[in-house]
Amino acid sequence: MSDVSITATPAAGELTRAAIAEIDASDQLGDVLALPEHLRDAVWRVESAIMQDWDTSSGLVVAGMGGSAIGGALARAALGDHTSRPFFVTRAYGLPTWTTPETMVLCASYSGDTEETLACYESAGALGAKRTVVTTGGRLAEMARAEGVPVIPLPAGFEPRAAVAYMIVAALEVAALCGAGPRLTSEIDVAASHTEQLVAEWGPDAPEDSLAKEIARGLYGTTPVIAGAGLTTPIAYRWKTQINENAKQMAFASELPELDHNEIIGWEGAQGSGRFSAVFLDDSDAHPRVKARMELTEQMIAGNAAASFRLETRGQTSIERVISLVLLGDLVSIYLAALHGVDPGPVKALDELKAALAQR
């Protein structure tokens, strides 16, 4: 399902595989299209690295930043009300105050050198909490292996944000192993097959009027505001960060029903503040009142937005539905980069900030 309202002239230009390759030096598009393969490989990597259950855990904390943290948030959304113990994602230098020695702490850092995650790893160790690590290497892997902490190895060569499938699966599998949620291994495999179909439908070889390309053209030249609710809340945040990093442009994320109590009023002055677009990410299994709010809110905002889209998850299971809109958002961000003529790979400002912090 897709409701579309565009008042601005959509961007022109082809969004073919060849056209994107001209600006995509590190093949970020290829990493997005490989999402189904990443899901399957991730399951194998977790099973190869961890051979035991920790069913005595009192809950799970996923510690990470950026592209490494979002996997935990998306996994938590996919589990929904099927979690049997607390499942929390922390993006900070410390752990939640309620963390105990019985808590499982999954430290996620693609590089293995994220300073906030390293601090969480050490804090968990000081508490005597159970720990697991998911990384390509770095200081995090060195410390974990020296202390006998299980390490889920990730393939090198990605930008951290492109390893989202690996981070989702790692969080889901560790949640199952520590008793925080049910095992979803078979559902992940089905989701991978479902995602292959969506890659064909929305990918660069699809027609120029396919959904992902239509959305990118509608958002071009605007500041997107992405809204989610329930299962789609972390997906909206993923869209925001992917547009930030891949398309090199501002974007914002909101959450329903909260935005109906404040942000909706701000849209009355949107046209005088710039060119804003709205994207509402609906879930096919959302609460009826949430779905009604999303539909009515999109209708009220559309007149003040340069473009407005209401999109719905695809698939039967929660993991299928989560992955469907993750894929769509990732593709939209790459297509936006192509329309802007910018390479989606480099993140110069992040590299400069890390270098400056290292000098402090």
* DSSP assigned state of 285: T
Q: Helices (DSSP H) in the chain: which residue ranges?
A: 17-21, 28-33, 35-49, 66-79, 115-127, 138-146, 164-177, 185-202, 211-219, 233-246, 263-266, 288-302, 318-340, 348-358
Token digits for 13? 């230009």
Contact, 59 vs 86, CB < 8 A? yes
Q: Which of 71, 104, 111, 124 is nearest to 174 (CA)?
A: 104
287 is catalytic: no
Q: How many CB atoms lie within 10 A of CB 272?
A: 7
Q: Which of 247, 252, 250 is nearest to 227 (CA)?
A: 252
Active-site residue identified among 116, 245, 298, 320: 245
261 is catalytic: yes
* DSSP assigned state of 256: T
Helix (H, G, I), strand (E, B) or coil at 275: coil
Could you list the active site residues?
Answer: 245, 261, 354
